[in-house]
Amino acid sequence: MLHMCGEGKGQLKDLVVTIESPRFEKRLHVLPACPDGFLLDAKIAVARMRNKEAALERALQPLEKDFDAIVIDCPPSLGMATDAAIYYGRRRQGEAEGISGMVIPVLAEDSSATAYAMLADQIESLRDDLSLEIEYLGLVVNLYDSRRGVVATSSLREWRNLGDPKVLAVIGDLKEQREAVRKRMPLLEHAPYCDQSTGMREIARQIS
């Protein structure tokens, strides 16, 4: 958070944690979040910096040369931190289509459709205001359970009927992810062949 606001001490790379599981061959790294992250919108708003939408890009720029791909897990909000994440995910000059963009998790329920519409408005506003090229790489329907009835099944059908962006995968509301969180380990290490892990691989296959 402090690095995004221009107040960071030391190198951001010193905070990066390598996932030690042999499955990932030390090629998967995480920059852990912190509780103060909930204050990020307010910190960016009062920070004395130019082009606040580029706050995340400025913070991560020293790391980019060391990684093949960077995935931003954006907070479920519509504040300035989300603006910074959207800006970071734009297509850069000279970059081919389908390399950078937005993967948007949604739920099979009516409230998620409303939230998606609000996020899409925010993305389009940034695209228009800053003349950005921002791609929707696809949707991921998360925590799906057909036993929840017609609202769930009809919502899934409506997500699929959108067509663009397409549904990359449907991730079931199953126990393995919760178990992995409790054990503080990656899902693909805890249960590499479960349905949820298969869905994650499908997402990676479609956007890589």
**Does a structural domain hold residue 12?**
yes
- Within the chain, which residues score under 50 in pLDDT? none
| Cα(48)–Cα(143) distance, integer angstroms | 40
Give yes or no for a contact between 62 and 13, defined as CB atoms under 8 angstroms apart.
yes
pLDDT at 86: 95
CA distances to 33, 70, 71, 106, 169 from 86, rounded to whole Å, are: 18, 13, 12, 17, 21
**Does a structural domain hold residue 93?**
no
- Provide the total of helices (H) and of strands (E) in the chain, helices listed first: 8, 5
**Does a structural domain hold residue 73?**
yes
Place of tokens 């890589």: 208
**Does a structural domain hold residue 3?**
yes
Give yes or no for a contact between 140 and 171, defined as CB atoms under 8 angstroms apart.
yes
**Does a structural domain hold residue 100?**
no
**Does a structural domain hold residue 35?**
yes
Task: Render the burial of 77-99: b for 16+ CB within 10 Å, e for the rest.
Answer: eeebbbbbbbbbbbbeeeeeeee
- Is the dihedral angle over the CA atoms 118, 98, 26, 86 positive or is it negative? negative
Range of the domain at 11: 1-88
**Does a structural domain hold residue 11?**
yes
- DSSP states along 47-105: S--S-GGGHHHHHHGGGGGG-S-------SS-SHHHHHHHHHTSPPTTPPTTSS-EEEE
Number of domains comprising the chain:
1
Give residues with Cβ within 8 angstroms of 58, minimum separation 6.
4, 6
Helix, strand, coil percentages (3-state) for the chain, rounded to 5, are 50, 10, 40
**Does a structural domain hold residue 104?**
no
